[in-house]
Each structure stands twice: as structure tokens, then as C-alpha cells.
Chains A and B, each alone.
Chain A
Amino acid sequence: MVDNNLLFQYLLRLGDDQQILSQRLSEWCGHAPTLEEDLALANIALDLLGQARSLYTYAGEVEGAGRDEDQLAFLRYENEYTNALIVERPNGDFAHTITRQLFYSVYMDLHWNALLSSKDETVRAIAAKAVKEVDYHVRHAAEWVIRLGQGTEESHQRMVEALEEFAIYTGELFEMDDLAQQMFKAGVGVDLTLLRPEWEQQIAAVLGEAGLRMPEVNWMQTGGRSGEHTEHLGHLLCELQYMQRAYPGMTW
């Protein structure tokens, strides 16, 4: 029997990852380097938003306290969001955004695929939809990383800098804290450490084709899973929560 409170926390965590990255990607809308990328990034943001909505809605049901997707998405304090730090980092230039997309999408591709055999039927159903979407996210990011890595001296250099910035946030994605372990034991969640070798291999393959490599990392940043965030999340939440905070309790 799965503890409902743990399942609730677990679903929020997964939902927060998708929601916060969706929010970041939607900041690009209207400002991307090409019109095609405006559409592509908005498309990915929409997929992530859809996944977040399914996860929050289910989390609300599991909690049983009458909270809906919006109350969970908008009305929590900063330290109650448990997304990984990588998704809240600012977009930076296009190389930064694409690097984050590659790291994250390859991770979620493996993660969603593993969740296809979750014992929780709703999680399985959400994963079944998500695997189709994330497949495109991986291809989109990988193609761009190769293009930018091989493109010009400038694009190559920007990729080197972006890899340098985001590499230190990748370790957290595979952490097995107490919640992750309990959910794994209950058959709902995934042993994330098992995904890591495959993730490293896939990232190395893409970077290899791009003429790039993963920088050496001495220390992996962490904290998001326990609500200890970077300074950036608060600002993101100011925008995200603005309407719900300024006009509490209204229907939109």
C-alpha cells in the first residue's frame, strides 16, 4: 500500500519539474532566434505544461483535500516547490536553453520510459503520453546541440560555456533521497541511479557528434528536492503567481 502523502509529494515533485521548465521556455515566445524556434519552444512548453497539469490534478486527488491543479501550481510558497534546480535556471542565450533542454529531455525520456512500468495506473498513463512527446524534445535539442557545436566558432564557444554552466545541475536529477527511495520501493517510482549510465552515454554521444564534451565537475549543486532553491525561483514565482496572489479566490 502506498502512503498517500508520499505519493502526493512525489507527484508534486514531478509536476514542479515540468511546470517550472514550461514557464522558462514560454519566456522565449516571440523572442526566439527564428520563427521556427518560436514555434518549437512554445510547443515543448505546451507539452510540459500538459504533463504538469495531469500530475497536479492527480496529486490533488491523492491528497484528497480539495486542491485542484491551479491551487497546487500557483498557491504554494517557494520552499514548497521541489523542482530540480536545473529547470529554474534562467534561459540565458539560446545555447544555454538548448543545453538545458538536452540534459533535461534525455533524463525525462529515460525517466518516463521507466515509469511505463510503474505500479500506479495513473502514473503509467501519464508516462505513456509523455514518452511520445519527450521523444521529439530529445531530437530537437540534440539536433541543435550538434548544429551549434559544429556551426561556427562563436556557436561552439557558446555551447562550451553553456555546458559549463549546466553540468553542475545534472547530478541532482539522479539523487535518490528518502522520498525517491520509498516511491521506488513501493513500485511507483524509479531507481534514478540506474538511469544515469544510459543518460551519460546518450549525452556523450550527442556531444561527441557536436565536437563538444562534458566538462569535468567537482561538485554537483543540489537542494531543489528539499525546497532549497537558487535565487531565481522566487522571481519566476512572482510572475507565475501574480494573478492568483493579486486577486485571491476568483474564477478565471
Chain B
Amino acid sequence: MYSQGLIGADGSTVETEEFLEAFQKRVDAEQKIEPNDPMPEGYRRTLVRQISQHAHSEIVGMLPEGNWITRAPTLRRKAALLAKVQDEGGHGLYLYSAAETLGVSREELTDQLLTGAAKYSSIFNYPALTWADIGAIGWLVDGAAIMNQIALCRCSYGPYSRAMIRICKEESFHQRQGYEILLTLCRGTDAQKKMAQEAVNRIWWPALMMFGPHDSASTHSDQSMHWKIKRFSNDNLRDKFVNATVPQAEYLGLTVPDPNLKWNEEKQGYDYSDIDWDEFWRVVKGDGICNRDRIKARQKAHREGAWVREAALAFAEKRAGAADAARTAAE
């Protein structure tokens, strides 16, 4: 899954004009920036922030879906969901590794998540209440994530771009899986259709929020676009998502919960209501229904796993010590 439009990154730099110009020239020439290349501090900081938000989102994103693994309705669905959540953990791993190429450690980043200093995608602060939510999350949340991530495959930072290419392949599989869950429900009984519609009602707006604030309110978008960290604006991607998704909802026979949704012939796209930005900011700031539970769950896993990590470290040190001693004895 994915982190929403970047919030609160400070991209300010103090490098000389010449340095910045030379850097910009490389970016403009579509040369990938690699870990050991010189880069403006602001570029590095923005990327660390963005990649780690993205990694944290994958990790926290394991929780709402993980909540349904033990209750999946069939063995086939359980296997697919377990594999999906496992993929998300894998995405988290690549992304932490990509962030580490910029000189931060996974431990530091994890600390930032656990103390609330780092953000993750607000979508995961909404609950997964029924089995249909697993379908709707796959279809809409992974769908929105793909919209963002396809664009990030061309990000100027090499390791992030390459991680995105790999992640996108898995995400599109997840999205089809989610859609197929809903399709099965929509062809099922009235109770199943109702379950599907209610899940879409819950997840539609939070999915649109995943693209972040309006371009006019997105503080650091310009600099990120200039550096080609971001390739498309938040509103642009959100429109693309709505245009792609509404026909899919029609095929399912589900209603998009927006009375103002209407095809606009002139712009060849849908008009839709404005997002409830009060809700958006409230959830970003920590008052969504699941914010506290999500962080508590991560803190608990971290705290209860501390002795395991300490033991692994102590064991590795003993092994290394024994190997050193053996080498010294042999010399």
C-alpha cells in the first residue's frame, strides 16, 4: 500500500547556486540519482521523509487486513490474504532498505513511527469492519496506491524508483484480487451485496484522501515536482483515479457514495464533491477512529519483541567473538 501526498517535509536547502544548478541539470536530463551521488540536503530529507512514510504505511497497513486473516471465509481467500499481507511486509522491508541508502537506519525510522514523529497513510486509521472491506481495500486503497506508485516508478531517486517498479507489480495483483472479492459478493446474496456497498461507502472517501491535500494547499509539492521526486500533482492523480474507478463500480453494480458525481463531457472526466478536509486533517492529526489502536499495536509488538531482538544481537556478538578468538588462536 502507500503513503499519501507528503505532509510536512521540509525541503529547504543551503547549498551553493552552482551545486544546485548542476544537480537540477542531472534531474532534468532524467539521470537517476544514486545513493553515493552528491545531492542537496533538502532532496535527501524529502526522500527520507517520503520513503519512510511509505514504508511505515506498509507496516501499519498490515494491521487492518491482518485483522481478517483468521476469519477469512474460505481457505483460498485466507491463503490470498495471508500472502497479500506478507507482501506488504516485504514492501516495508524494501522501502526501509531504500531509505537506508540515504543514511538513516531502520531503527531510527521505526522509532519515529512509534513515537508518532513520522506519519503513515491515514487510510489505515479507518477500520476494516467486514469481509467486504478486504475487497474494498484491495480495489480502492491498492488502486489509489497504484495510481501514485506508477508515477513514482519514474522518481529521480534510483533506489526508490526501482523499489516502486517491483512493488507496483504486486500491488496490481492485490487490486485485482480485491475487485474479485467484491465481484463475488455482488453476484451473491442480498446480504453480501449490502456488505459490499457498505464497505465501499466507508472506504471511498478515505481512498480519495490518499492523494493528499489539494495542489493549492500542498506546501512542498512544487519543490518535489521540480526535483522529480513527485511526477504528478495530487489533484491530477486523484482525478485519474476517479475516472478509472467509477466505471468499475458501475460494473459491480455498486453506488459511489457521492451525490454530485457526474460525467463532464467537456473535460472528459468526472466532477465530484470536495473531500471533507476537516475529517482529513483530523485523522492526519491523530483523531481517526483507529489512530491510537494502530500505534499501540505497533508499540506492543515492538515492546514485546525487544527481548527477542536483544537475544539475537547478543547471540550474533557471541558468534562474532568466538570467530575472532578462533582466528587469533590460529594465527
A interface residues with partner B (beta carbon < 8 Å): 19, 23, 26-27, 29-39, 42-43, 45-46, 49-50, 52-53, 56, 69-70, 73-74, 93-94, 146-148, 150-152, 154-155, 158, 239-240, 242-244, 247, 250-252
Interface centre among B306, B311, B313 (most CB of A within 10 A): B311
Q: How far is the CA of A42 from the CA of B325 in the complex (A)?
A: 37
Q: Is the CB of A46 within 8 A of B308?
A: no
B interface residues with partner A (beta carbon < 8 Å): 59, 62-63, 66, 69-79, 82-83, 85-86, 89-90, 92-93, 96, 131, 181, 184-185, 187-189, 191-192, 297, 300-301, 304-315, 318
Q: Closest residue to B307 on the A side, CB-wise?
A: A154
B185 CB to nearest chain A CB (Å): 8
Q: How far is the CA of A179 from the CA of B189 in the complex (A)?
A: 41
- Given A29-B62, A93-B304, A242-B71, decide whether A35 and B314 contact each other with a Cβ distance below 8 A: no
Q: Is the CB of A243 within 8 A of B73?
A: yes
Q: How far is the CA of A27 from the CA of B72 in the complex (A)?
A: 12
The 3 closest A-B pairs by CB, nearest first: A33-B305, A151-B311, A155-B311
Q: How far is the CA of A112 from the CA of B92 in the complex (A)?
A: 34
Q: Closest residue to A69 on the B side, CB-wise?
A: B75
Q: Closest residue to B110 on the A side, CB-wise?
A: A35
- Given A39-B90, A155-B310, A239-B70, decide whether A30 and B85 contact each other with a Cβ distance below 8 A: yes
Q: Is the CB of A70 within 8 A of B63?
A: no
Q: Closest residue to A57 on the B side, CB-wise?
A: B75
Q: How far is the CA of A225 from the CA of B181 in the complex (A)?
A: 36
Q: Which residues from A are CB-within-8-Å of B305?
A: 32-34, 37, 94
Q: How far is the CA of A148 from the CA of B184 in the complex (A)?
A: 46
Q: Is the CB of A32 within 8 A of B301?
A: yes
Q: Is the CB of A35 within 8 A of B70?
A: no
Q: Is the CB of B86 within 8 A of A29?
A: yes
Q: Is the CB of A148 within 8 A of B311?
A: yes
Q: How far is the CA of A73 from the CA of B75 in the complex (A)?
A: 8
A24 CB to nearest chain B CB (Å): 9
Q: Is the CB of A151 within 8 A of B75?
A: no
